[in-house]
């Protein structure tokens, strides 16, 4: 959890940290907390330098409010020894604070020698993904073909030779008489390169992709449609546009490179159907998956499964978001809140306002113990704006009162007909969003970062 950093310069403080120093002089003044690392304003570590003449052992780190109350405490598994003059980076469990979005706090550390020292104060915000700044040169991806429903993933190792070498890959939907899924790649998330043909191996009419990357690889299902003994690195879930009112509306496939796909097959209902085909059910049909979370240490019981999929449900005249659980990515059991054997939605239209009747096309991020969702919504369809919601369990959601984040009525020409499909990725402690904008018949993808 922690390690000394030798022969490194003093870290550059985040812009959220002030220059005021409040080191205590009434106790051993041998420790100085130089700055605080932030993960989009939530603390994940502190830099501590020993400014004394002898080694010191750190045993606890406290986050203190201005009135002196400890609002966060981290106990090291074993004391961290810092030699004189050296700097240590102490990683802590993220402090996701139930406090106002902003405020002045400070860090205190204690030592096994009985010393205490206090850091400089800093400005802290609770992690909040409801404020975004749109890139001034949007759209960032506007090919000759339609580009919408982006799914973006990032890998610091440029996917290690598993397909095109680039830090970002984006699968997206296009339409020209039939629906197809295409792949683009980028090293900065702004300048994109497009493959000159759709991906291969999926159904003849495929859209609304969601892709996960597995750096360690996994064994393909080898159903006869798979290269012999192939190791796969990507999974995709997508919408089969010809199968609206059946569970076969959502399909699954695997790939070694993200471009050529194998083992394409429809999803299957588990004990609680995710799609019923029954009139009047909120999940009679589906326009596809919207987000899949992966947890390799899951127990595959209750609501704790290796795969958790947020997906679209529709009776034909509105749309809601449901959740399915799976141990293999193919057979899915719906979330049954009240135990009646039927799946229940976890996010629905508000009944009034900008997302009155439709919600769909979301990204969900689990950060610490909190789930964050950016979703599409509207009155007449799901493409009118983007909203934000949070949850402590991924099941019960609270929509942000400041919604929508973006809306087609914002006055920007490139997305004045449709504004939707948020794809959000965490990249080295910050967050990035790509989303669809439509103007006239032009479909393009824009970019935004948190405010």
pLDDT of residue 40: 58
Q: What is the chain's pLDDT, residue by residue, as a tens digit (451 residues)? A: 333 222 222 222 233 323 223 333 333 445 666 666 666 556 777 888 887 888 889 999 888 877 778 878 889 999 999 998 888 888 877 765 544 445 667 788 888 888 777 766 666 666 789 999 999 999 999 999 999 999 999 999 999 999 999 999 999 999 998 999 999 999 999 999 999 999 999 999 999 999 999 999 998 876 656 665 588 999 999 999 999 999 999 999 999 999 999 999 999 999 999 999 999 999 999 999 999 999 999 999 999 999 999 999 999 999 999 999 999 999 999 999 999 999 999 999 999 999 999 999 999 999 877 899 999 999 999 999 999 999 999 999 999 999 999 999 999 999 999 999 999 999 887 899 999 999 999 999 999 998 7
Q: Are 254 and 261 in contact (CB under 8 A)?
A: yes
C-alpha span between 328 and 350 (Å, rounded):
33
Give the dihedral sign, CA 252/256/261/262.
negative
CA-based nearest residue to 440, from 425, 411, 418: 418
Cis peptide before 413 (omega within 30 of 0): no
Sorted by where each starts, the structural domains of the chain and their CATH numbers stand as 2-124 (2.60.40), 132-450 (2.115.10.20)
User: Beta 331-334 vs 268-269: how paired, if at all?
Assistant: parallel
Q: Any idea what DSSP says for residue 429?
A: T
pLDDT of residue 355: 98
C-alpha span between 439 and 436 (Å, rounded):
10
C-alpha span between 313 and 321 (Å, rounded):
6
C-alpha span between 118 and 178 (Å, rounded):
63
Report helix, strand or coil for 243. coil
Torsion of CA 315, 420, 269, 199, to 10 degrees: 130
The dihedral region occupied by 409, where left means phi > 0, alpha psi between -120 and 50, and beta the remainder, is alpha
Q: Name the residue with tokens 């469990």.
A: 93
Residue 114: half-sphere exposure toward Cβ, Cα within 13 Å: 2
pLDDT of residue 49: 84
C-alpha span between 405 and 261 (Å, rounded):
35
CA-based nearest residue to 438, from 178, 133, 142, 136: 142
pLDDT of residue 229: 59
The set of residues, in sequence order, having a beta carbon less than 8 Å from that of 338 and lying 6+ positions away, is: 344
pLDDT of residue 15: 30
At 448, phi and psi to the nearest 5? -150, 160
CA-based nearest residue to 105, from 76, 129, 125: 125
C-alpha span between 99 and 104 (Å, rounded):
11
CA-based nearest residue to 83, from 19, 144, 4: 4
C-alpha span between 303 and 64 (Å, rounded):
35
| pTM for this entry | 0.80
User: Beta 442-450 vs 132-134: how paired, if at all?
Assistant: antiparallel
């Amino acid at each position: 959890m922690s390690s000394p950093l030798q022969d490194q310069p003093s870290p550059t403080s985040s812009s959220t940290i002030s220059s005021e120093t409040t080191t205590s002089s009434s106790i051993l003044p041998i420790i100085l907390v130089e700055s605080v690392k932030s993960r989009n304003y939530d603390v994940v570590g502190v830099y501590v330098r020993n400014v004394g003449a002898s080694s010191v052992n750190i045993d606890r780190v406290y986050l203190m409010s201005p009135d002196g109350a400890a609002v966060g405490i981290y106990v090291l598994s074993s004391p961290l020894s810092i030699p004189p003059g050296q700097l240590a980076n102490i990683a802590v469990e993220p402090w996701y604070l139930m406090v106002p979005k902003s405020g002045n706090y400070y860090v205190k550390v204690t030592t096994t020698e009985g010393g205490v020292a206090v850091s400089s104060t800093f400005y802290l915000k609770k992690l909040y993904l409801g404020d975004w700044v749109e890139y001034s040169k949007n759209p960032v991806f506007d090919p000759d073909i339609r580009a919408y429903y982006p799914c973006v993933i990032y890998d610091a190792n440029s996917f290690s030779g598993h397909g095109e070498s680039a830090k970002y890959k984006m699968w997206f939907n296009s339409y020209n008489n039939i629906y197809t899924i295409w792949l683009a790649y980028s090293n900065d998330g702004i300048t994109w390169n497009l493959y000159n043909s759709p991906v291969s191996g999926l159904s003849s009419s495929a859209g609304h992709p969601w892709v996960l990357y597995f750096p360690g690889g996994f064994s393909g299902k080898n159903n006869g449609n798979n290269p012999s003994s192939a190791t796969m690195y990507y999974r995709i879930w997508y919408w089969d546009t010809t199968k609206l009112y059946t569970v076969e509306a959502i399909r699954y496939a695997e790939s070694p490179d993200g471009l050529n796909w194998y083992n394409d097959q429809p999803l299957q209902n588990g004990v609680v159907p995710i799609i019923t085909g029954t009139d009047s059910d909120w999940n009679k049909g589906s326009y596809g998956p919207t987000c899949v979370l992966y947890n390799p240490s899951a127990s595959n019981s209750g609501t704790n499964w290796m795969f958790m999929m947020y997906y679209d449900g529709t009776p034909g005249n509105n749309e809601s978001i449901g959740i399915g659980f799976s141990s293999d990515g193919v057979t899915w059991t719906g979330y049954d809140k009240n135990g009646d054997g039927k799946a229940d939605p976890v996010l629905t239209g508000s009944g009034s306002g900008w997302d009155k009747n439709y919600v769909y096309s979301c990204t969900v991020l689990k950060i610490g113990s909190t789930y964050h969702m950016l979703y599409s919504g509207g009155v007449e369809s799901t493409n009118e704006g983007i909203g934000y919601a949070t949850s402590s369990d991924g099941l019960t959601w609270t929509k942000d009162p400041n919604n929508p984040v973006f809306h087609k009525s914002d006055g920007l020409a490139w997305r004045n007909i449709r504004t939707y499909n948020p794809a959000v990725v965490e990249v080295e402690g910050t967050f990035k969003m790509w989303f669809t904008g439509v103007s006239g018949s032009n479909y393009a993808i824009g970019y935004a970062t948190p405010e």
